[in-house]
Structure 1
Amino acid sequence: MRLHDLWFVMIAVLWTGYFFLEGFDFGIGVLTKLLARDEKERRVLINTIGPVWDGNEVWLLTAVGATFAAFPDWYATLFSGFYLPLLVVLVCLILRGVAFEYRAKRDDHRWKRNWEHVIFYGSLVPAFLWGAVFADIARGVPIDAQHDVTGGLGALFGPYALLGGMLTLLLFTFHGAVFAALKTLGPVRVRARRIAARLGVVTLAVAAVFLALTQRAGDAYSLAALLTALVALAAALVCNRAGREGWAFALSGVTVAGLVATLFLVLFPDVMPSTTDPAWSLTVVNAAAGPYTLKLMTWIAAVMTPLVLAYQAWTYWVFRKRIGTQHIPDPLPH
């Protein structure tokens, strides 16, 4: 395997890790309004991701940094052409992080509710926009001979992109509901399983339509990834109904991985196809950095990746226990 092909795979793996981990983060944020019934239950949900949400976002930084270093032309075209939606994602992630840290700084109902609104919308909007952006990348966008994206937001947010955004929003919320069932106790756990069962059915239907449209440009490998995603999602529904939350969460993660794999397999060997003229498409060859840069990155990744994975796995092991409203102290009397 040539180095530029290897780094295309590596970037796909990094985005898979990000969507697997940040996906249930986003889902928990959305569920603070859909699942929780009072402040204690909202605190339970937020506390399930409290120790890990910031570590999950490191995968985004790594994926973006790897794209910048390994495929600078891809990075330039992507982040200039999708400047507005990616800026909205960035602002949401910043405000969401502030909300996690500042929500409990004052014992005031309005203060907490305002930050909870930020957590909800700061989770919902990126969950939708990431799907729309990656649907556009897989389908192709109007790119000219200078590798600049032409056209406005209308060219970026067509029906296929909107369907992709709806899929990721539903899938991440389902992923979060299964995670909530895995990490909580009592009524929150019961309602998380119930909402996961309902969301999963809708998600499966939307995923089938979106992946069928995506497969029109695919091959046997993308078809295998597509079927893996759909079968895993159906199996996650079965496990959720049976109360096997651990298996349900693992299978919903396989669904996320299958979705990302399908998009990247359909994309390869392009990294950003041009719908204006295929000759103007960015590929793993013409968008890649030099051999020395790719070789140096490969050695750094070989050393650092196992360390990062080991540390993050240890973090999840330390905070593996379930929590419930009984673990949330009552507010102090004024």
Structure 2
Amino acid sequence: MDLPTLWFLLIALLWTGYLILEGFDFGVGMLLFALGRRPEERDALVRTFGPVWDGNEVWLLVAGGAMFAAFPNWYASMFSAEYLPLLILLVALIVRVLAIEYRRKHDGPNWTTRWDRVLFVASVTAPLMAAVGLANVVHGIPMDAKHDFTGNLLDLLNPYSLLGGVAVLSLFVLHGATFLGLRTEGTLRVRARSLAIRVWPVATALVAAFGIWTLLGASSVARGISVVGTIAVVLAVVGLVATGLALRADREPIAFAGTALTIAAAVVLLFAQLWPNVMPSTDDPAGTLSIAETASHHYTLKVMTWVAILVTPVVLVYQAWSYWVFRHRISAEGFPEGGAGAALQSLTHRPAGDA
């Protein structure tokens, strides 16, 4: 395997990690008011991902950095063409951080409720813009032979990309609900499971429609149905079926694993249909960017590969350890008795003014 292809696959892996890990964060944010009927319950929901959300976002930073270093022309063309959706994504991520950090900086239900609303809006906006952006990359973007964007905002809001955005939102809601089934107890746990059961048919229908459309030819470059793409669709279906069955059998780990598998399969499908290009052109075929012509110099990719080999295991071990430390269930009544994890949670999320 040549280095450009290797880094194309690694970028797909980074996007998979980001969407799985940050996906349940976004899902919980979208469920704040659906499941948290009191401020104490919303506090508990935020605490489920409070210690790990910033580590999850690192995957997005690394994915963007890898695209910039490994495929600079791809990075430049994509950010130029999708400037507005990606700008909205960036603003939503920044505002989301403010909501998480500032919601408990002042005592009073009105202050917390306002920031919770901001968190909800940002949790909807960010994944929606990310999904629309990725869907447009697969579908194709109007570009001329010089790889300059020749379209407008309406070209980016095409039916395929909008379906992708709605499908991702529904899948993340389901993913967040299954995550809450693992991380909460009592009433919140019951509500999360009940909501997940109700959301499952809608998410399944939307994801299936988006997956079939992608497999049958969402891209402007005709290549036919790929074997890898077909396998990815099958795995997505397996994941959704497993989630539905596990929810009804009250098998929360399997339900969460099923939604995670579906997200991973969806990313594989998108990148499989994109290969060997990185950005098809819907305007001029000469404007289509391929992996080979957008890749950095061989030496650059070689250095990046060695850095990834040395650093990635350390990052994965640290992130796995953080999840293990904060593995205990959370309730709206207070912090659980669970040793070091509970103690660290109580220190990490101490309200302002108690220090």
| TM-score scaled by length of structure 2 | 0.91
Change (3 A) 1:293 1:184: same
Partner of 1:291: 298
- C-alpha contact 1:22 1:57 (8 A) present in aligned 2: yes
Deviation at 1:229, TM superposition (A): 0.7
How many angstroms apart in 2 are the aligned matches of 1:291 and 1:103?
Answer: 47
Q: Given the alignment, which residue of 308, 313, 330 partners 1:306?
A: 313
Matched with 1:230 is 237
Query: 2:145–2:285: 8 Å Cα contact kept in structure 1?
Result: no
> What secondary structure sits across from 1:326 in the alignment?
coil
In structure 2, stretches of 5+ residues that fail to align are 218-224, 336-349
> Is 1:15 matched with 2:22?
no
Matches within 5 A, 1:149-228: 149-217=149-217, 218-228=225-235
* 2:174–2:196 Cα contact (<8 Å) kept: yes
CA drift of 1:228 comes to 0.4
2:250 aligned counterpart, secondary structure = coil
How far, CA to CA, are the matches of 2:334 and 2:147 in structure 1?
A: 54
Q: Compute the displacement of 1:80 (Å).
A: 1.1
Does structure 1 retain, via aligned residues, the 8 Å contact 2:106–2:352?
Answer: no
- Displacement after TM superposition at 1:95 (Å): 0.9
Q: Which moved more, 1:274-283 or 1:182-191?
A: 274-283
Distance 1:149 1:298 in 2: 31
Does residue 260 of structure 2 align to residue 253 of structure 1?
Answer: yes
Partner of 2:108: 108
Q: How many residue pairs align between the two structures?
A: 332
1:231-262 residue CA offsets vs partner (Å, 9 max, x unmatched): 11111111122111111111110100000000
Q: Distance in 2 between matches of 1:302 and 1:51?
A: 26
Secondary structure of 2:278's partner?
strand
Aligned sequence identity (%): 49
| Deviation of 1:75 (Å) | 0.3
Going from structure 1 to structure 2, the CA distance change for 1:118 and 1:310 (only over 3 Å counts) comes to same
Contact between 2:105 and 2:352, CA under 8 Å: does it hold in 1?
no
Q: CA contact under 8 A between 2:239 and 2:257: conserved in structure 1?
A: no
Structure 2 residue aligned with 1:34:
34
1:331 Cα deviation after fit: 12
4+ long deviations beyond 2 Å:
328-332
Corresponding residue for residue 339 of structure 2? none
Which letter maps to 2:180?
A
**Cα distance per residue 1:3-61 (max 9 Å; x no partner):** 00000000000000000001000000000022211111101100000000011000000
1:27-66 correspondence to structure 2 within 5 Å: 27-66=27-66
SS at match of 1:88: helix
Using the TM superposition, give the Cα deviation of residue 276 of structure 1 relative to its aligned residue in structure 2, in angstroms. Answer: 1.3
Q: State the shift of 1:279 in Å.
A: 2.6
d(CA) in 1 for partners of 2:327, 2:143: 46
In 2, distance between residues paired with 1:151 and 1:282?
16
Within 1, Cα distance between the matches of 2:199 and 2:311? 37
SS of match in other structure, 1:91: helix
